[in-house]
Amino acid sequence: MRFFYEKAKKEAAEAGREVQEDQFRYSGPKPQTKAAAILMLADGIEAAARTLNDHTQDKLLDLIRKIITDTTEDGQFSECDITLSEINRITYSFLETLSSHYHGRIAYPGFDFNQALHANGNGQG
């Protein structure tokens, strides 16, 4: 959520407005289990990844690390027993998942799959 707070803060400053930080925090308690911490990270990382124009592994890894670092520095893991080793494994699990999700395909020269689908009546539009 910090990612979105910083973005909103920057945009608000440019427009001469203020942003309330509590609008960019989860309303519930800090995560008290590893599973809750992972879900909180997954939610924030997935949402932030959607805002990227460049989904290379380097950019995704930078984003994941930034969000995890910001979350850790904000004290969000102070009530659960997640370790640095586990956070490192989680980092690379998120990277693998997001990399496969945003993996692009090369275009096949001379063949338009969209046109072929519509010609065969298999298109959905």
The total number of structural domains in the chain stands at 1
**What's residue 86's pLDDT?**
97
Asked whether the beta carbons of 83 and 42 are under 8 A apart, the reply is no
Whether the pLDDT of residue 35 is over 70: the answer is yes
SS (H, E, C) the chain: CHHHHHHHHHHHHHHCCCCCHHHHCCCCCCCCCHHHHHHHHHHHHHHHHCCCCCCCHHHHHHHHHHHHHHHHHCCCCCCCCCCHHHHHHHHHHHHHHHHHHCCCCCCCCCCCHHHHHHHCCCCCC
**What's residue 122's pLDDT?**
56
**What's residue 106's pLDDT?**
66
Q: pLDDT per residue over 91-124, tens digit each?
A: 999 999 999 988 766 666 776 766 765 666 655 5
Token pair in block for residue 67: 């969000």
116 vs 31, which has greater pLDDT?
31
In a domain, 36, yes or no: yes
Asked whether the beta carbons of 64 and 16 are under 8 A apart, the reply is no
In a domain, 84, yes or no: yes
What gap in Å lies between CA 10 and CA 114, rounded to an integer? 40
In a domain, 125, yes or no: no
In a domain, 124, yes or no: no
Q: pLDDT per residue over 54-89, tens digit each?
A: 999 999 999 999 999 999 998 999 999 999 999 999
pTM: 0.69
Whether the pLDDT of residue 125 is over 60: the answer is no
Which domain range does residue 44 map to? 2-119
Residue 46 burial (CB count, 10 A)? 13
